[in-house]
């Protein structure tokens, strides 16, 4: 059995209004106390399995959950139990038997949840959704985290029903998408409890620092993860897989920035989360370009949202780079202190990340990514590129035409068998496009010294797009050739990145020379460094242009 569900965090300020709205219609209240099990080595969590025993009112239910085919689907096996007795024999002969037989360690209680759940059904035109508003505690050892979330589970109809319901609640109450299940949070909390216990066990006066490091690790930024594509995937399927990965990176960093676990207690979000969120957005935009023409055009609202939000986070990022990278380098080089801060960006990262506009965009993106539409057939009747709409009628194999004026009716004959798709189509398409992109970057790059600033900026963006896209296609391309190429490309990117940071800093220091003459020091230093970097960039591009082809 599988469940389709979306979860939104309810910030403290929104709780009274959410509660009021839930109670407007008849709602059922139930107390849920769940115990989750794993081995000391976290073998179940590593296999992405969660097993719990839960007291639901008076009943006991044993549940196993695993990830399903997409971000909102999970496989769920439920077994009523007479009491708090975990019975693994119920999984004999099921799809999880092999995974459980492989578990070596002894299962034990690892973390618990204690939740008050309010349940209510909502009907939308796409189907019925059950709302569950959970408030309570997640506990692992001596550590606790609050639970405050609204879940939307599909009861009947299409997944669009989940989004139709969730969108309204999200916009009315400023809710925040949180991709983590309770079990994922619980497992991470249990690991933190263990790390803190380990830190305490080692004597030394840096105990506080070690504890602080362990705590910060719990909310560590979510970097880019590898994507595995299969040769037999269609372009929309491949795009969906890539989009899921990018969205996860964006949403997880955003939820830390929105302080979903830490409101008013501890500041978990920092500049690295902003950076990684933006990396996620850039990867997504690169993928959109990579699949351009092979999938249906990206909806205008998604494109517009990406521009606005990326820009807003970008202003925060620029300031972070200035404060954390460029200014310290200038101080090291001897610049006298400038007693002035750059003006803060219009909106800080935390309020953008938790804001209704950005969170609404995330929901739209999630819904789109679950079922990426294929490219519409071109006017000649052929699907564009890799677009193979599954529900479209097959193209006619024979057209009967005749008569001077042409027949009034054109009968269509559908072939008995659809033509066999090329099993390597996706790989070939990707290799061809990446090759083209490489040629363009290499051609422009070898002229680097002669390019003006906007052209260099454009080239940097192309380089990034190529790098992220290569990473997406990596599982289908020859690994050994790719390794060398990737190194050359990231060398180019590092240099261009520094050039970009300095260009931003230059604008800032130029703006303050009148009031702070020390800024002249910064400008002199920056221009000398930019000169060096331009020479490095030229060399790096020449090496890239001379590299062995990665696409063959």
Ligand X SMILES: O=P(O)(O)OP(=O)(O)OP(=O)(O)O
Smallest gap from residue 179 Cβ to ligand X (A): 10
Report the Cα–Cα distance between both ends of the chain, in Å, rounded. Answer: 43
- Is 110 a binding residue for ligand X by CB under 6 A? The answer is no
By CB under 6 A, which span of 177-185, 269-277, 339-347, 541-549 interacts with ligand X?
Answer: 177-185
Q: Which ranges of 474-518 would DSSP assign to H, the alpha helix? A: 479-511
Burial of 76 (0-12, 13-18, 19+ CB in 10 A): middle
Smallest gap from residue 181 Cβ to ligand X (A): 3
- Is 178 a binding residue for ligand X by CB under 6 A? The answer is no
Binding residue for ligand X, selected from 151, 187, 367, 474, defined by CB under 6 A: 151
- Is 275 a binding residue for ligand X by CB under 6 A? The answer is no
CB 238 within 8 A of CB 229: yes
Smallest gap from residue 421 Cβ to ligand X (A): 37
By CB under 6 A, which span of 16-24, 176-184, 351-359, 489-497 interacts with ligand X?
Answer: 176-184
Tell me whether residue 183 or residue 253 sits nearer to ligand X (CB atom).
183
By CB under 6 A, which span of 93-101, 154-162, 175-183, 514-522 interacts with ligand X?
Answer: 175-183
Tell me whether residue 38 or residue 151 sits nearer to ligand X (CB atom).
151
Smallest gap from residue 108 Cβ to ligand X (A): 19
By CB under 6 A, which span of 181-189, 192-200, 390-398, 443-451 interacts with ligand X?
Answer: 181-189
- Is 187 a binding residue for ligand X by CB under 6 A? The answer is no
By CB under 6 A, which span of 102-110, 162-170, 180-188, 262-270 interacts with ligand X?
Answer: 180-188
223 in the Ramachandran plot: left (φ > 0), alpha (ψ -120 to 50) or beta? Answer: beta
Tell me whether residue 183 or residue 369 sits nearer to ligand X (CB atom).
183
Smallest gap from residue 34 Cβ to ligand X (A): 6
Tell me whether residue 52 or residue 275 sits nearer to ligand X (CB atom).
52
- Is 252 a binding residue for ligand X by CB under 6 A? The answer is no
Instruction: Please list every residue from 445 through 504 that binds ligand X, using CB under 6 A.
Output: none
At a CB cut-off of 8 Å and minimum separation 6, what does 45 contact? 38, 183, 187
Binding residue for ligand X, selected from 171, 181, 270, 518, defined by CB under 6 A: 181
What b-and-e string marks burial along 274-293, b requiring 16 or more CB atoms within 10 Å of the CB? Answer: bbbbbbbbbbbbbbbebbee
Pairing of strands 398-399, 412-413: antiparallel
Smallest gap from residue 147 Cβ to ligand X (A): 9
Tell me whether residue 130 or residue 348 sits nearer to ligand X (CB atom).
130
| The residue to which tokens 């990473």 are assigned | 471
Q: What backbone phi and psi angles, to 5 degrees, belong to 389?
A: -60, 120
Q: Give me the 61-80 binding string for ligand X, x by CB under 6 A, dash otherwise.
A: ----x---------------
DSSP annotation of 377: B
Smallest gap from residue 227 Cβ to ligand X (A): 24
- Is 135 a binding residue for ligand X by CB under 6 A? The answer is no
Q: Measure the CA angle with vertex 296, ends 161 and 301; round to 5°.
A: 60
Beta strands in 305-426 (DSSP E): 398-399, 412-413
Smallest gap from residue 153 Cβ to ligand X (A): 6
Q: Which two tokens stand for residue 160?
A: 């669009």
Tell me whether residue 161 or residue 473 sits nearer to ligand X (CB atom).
161
Tell me whether residue 39 or residue 78 sits nearer to ligand X (CB atom).
78
- Is 325 a binding residue for ligand X by CB under 6 A? The answer is no
Distance separating alpha carbons of residues 498 and 505, to the nearest angstrom: 11
User: What three-state secondary structure class fits 169?
Assistant: helix
Binding residue for ligand X, selected from 9, 81, 167, 182, defined by CB under 6 A: 182
Tell me whether residue 65 or residue 350 sits nearer to ligand X (CB atom).
65
Distance separating alpha carbons of residues 56 and 291, to the nearest angstrom: 47
Tell me whether residue 134 or residue 318 sits nearer to ligand X (CB atom).
134
Tell me whether residue 28 or residue 527 sits nearer to ligand X (CB atom).
28
- Is 183 a binding residue for ligand X by CB under 6 A? The answer is yes
Q: Which two tokens stand for residue 511?
A: 């703006």
Bridge partners (DSSP) of residue 537 are none
Long-range contacts of 148-152 (CB under 8 A, 24+ apart): 148/9, 148/10, 148/11, 148/12, 148/15, 149/7, 149/8, 149/9, 149/10, 149/178, 150/7, 150/8, 150/10, 150/18, 150/175, 151/5, 151/6, 151/7, 151/8, 152/5, 152/6, 152/7, 152/8
Closest residue by Cα to residue 504 from 377, 360, 382, 327: 327
Residues of the shown chain interacting with ligand X in the complex, contacts defined by CB under 6 A:
65, 151, 181-183
């Amino acid at each position: 059995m599988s469940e389709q569900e979306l979860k939104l965090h309810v910030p403290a300020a929104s709780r009274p209004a959410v509660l009021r709205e839930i109670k407007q219609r008849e709602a059922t209240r139930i107390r849920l106390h769940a115990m989750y099990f794993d081995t000391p080595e976290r073998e179940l969590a590593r296999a992405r399995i969660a097993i719990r025993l839960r007291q639901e009112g008076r009943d006991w239910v044993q549940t196993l959950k695993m990830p399903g085919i997409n971000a909102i689907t999970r496989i769920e096996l439920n077994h009523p139990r007479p009491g708090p007795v975990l019975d693994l024999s119920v999984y004999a002969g099921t799809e999880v038997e092999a995974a459980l037989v492989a578990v070596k360690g002894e299962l034990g209680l690892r973390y618990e949840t204690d939740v008050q759940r309010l349940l209510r059904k909502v009907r939308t035109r796409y189907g019925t959704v059950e709302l569950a508003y959970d408030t309570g505690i997640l506990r692992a050892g001596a550590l606790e985290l609050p639970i405050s979330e609204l879940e939307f589970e599909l009861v009947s109809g299409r997944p669009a029903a989940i989004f139709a319901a969730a969108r309204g609640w999200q916009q009315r109450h400023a809710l925040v998408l949180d991709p983590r299940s309770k079990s994922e949070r619980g497992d991470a909390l249990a690991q933190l409890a263990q790390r803190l216990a380990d830190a305490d066990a080692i004597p030394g006066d840096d105990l506080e620092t070690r504890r602080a490091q362990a705590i910060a690790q719990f909310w560590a930024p979510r970097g880019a993860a590898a994507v595995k594509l299969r040769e037999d995937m269609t372009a929309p399927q491949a795009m969906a897989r890539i989009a899921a990965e990018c969205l996860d990176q964006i949403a997880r960093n955003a939820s830390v920035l929105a302080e979903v676990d830490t409101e008013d207690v501890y500041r978990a979000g920092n500049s690295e989360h902003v950076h990684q969120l933006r990396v996620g957005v850039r990867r997504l935009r690169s993928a959109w370009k990579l699949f351009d023409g092979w999938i249906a055009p990206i909806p205008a609202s998604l494109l517009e949202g990406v521009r606005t939000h990326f820009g807003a986070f970008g202003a925060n990022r620029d300031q972070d780079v200035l404060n954390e990278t460029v200014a310290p380098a200038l101080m090291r080089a001897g610049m006298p202190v400038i007693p002035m801060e750059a003006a803060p960006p219009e909106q800080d990262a935390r309020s953008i990340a938790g804001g209704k506009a950005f969170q609404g965009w995330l929901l739209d993106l999630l819904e789109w990514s679950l079922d990426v539409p294929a490219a519409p057939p071109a006017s000649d009747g052929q699907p564009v590129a890799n677009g193979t709409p599954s529900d479209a009628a097959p193209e006619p194999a024979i057209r009967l035409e005749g008569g001077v004026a042409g027949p009034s009716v054109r009968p269509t004959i559908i072939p008995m068998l659809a033509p066999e798709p090329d099993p390597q189509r996706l790989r070939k398409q990707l290799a061809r496009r990446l090759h083209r992109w490489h040629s363009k970057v290499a051609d422009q790059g070898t002229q680097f010294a002669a390019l003006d600033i906007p052209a260099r900026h454009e080239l940097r963006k192309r380089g990034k797009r190529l790098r992220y896209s290569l990473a997406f296609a990596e599982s289908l391309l020859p690994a050994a050739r790719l390794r060398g190429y990737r190194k050359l490309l990231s060398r180019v990117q590092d240099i261009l990145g520094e050039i970009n940071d300095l260009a931003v800093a230059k604008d800032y220091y130029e703006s303050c020379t009148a009031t702070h003459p020390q800024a002249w020091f910064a400008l002199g230093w920056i221009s000398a460094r930019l000169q060096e970097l331009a020479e490095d960039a030229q060399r790096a591009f020449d090496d890239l242009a001379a590299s062995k082809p990665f696409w063959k």
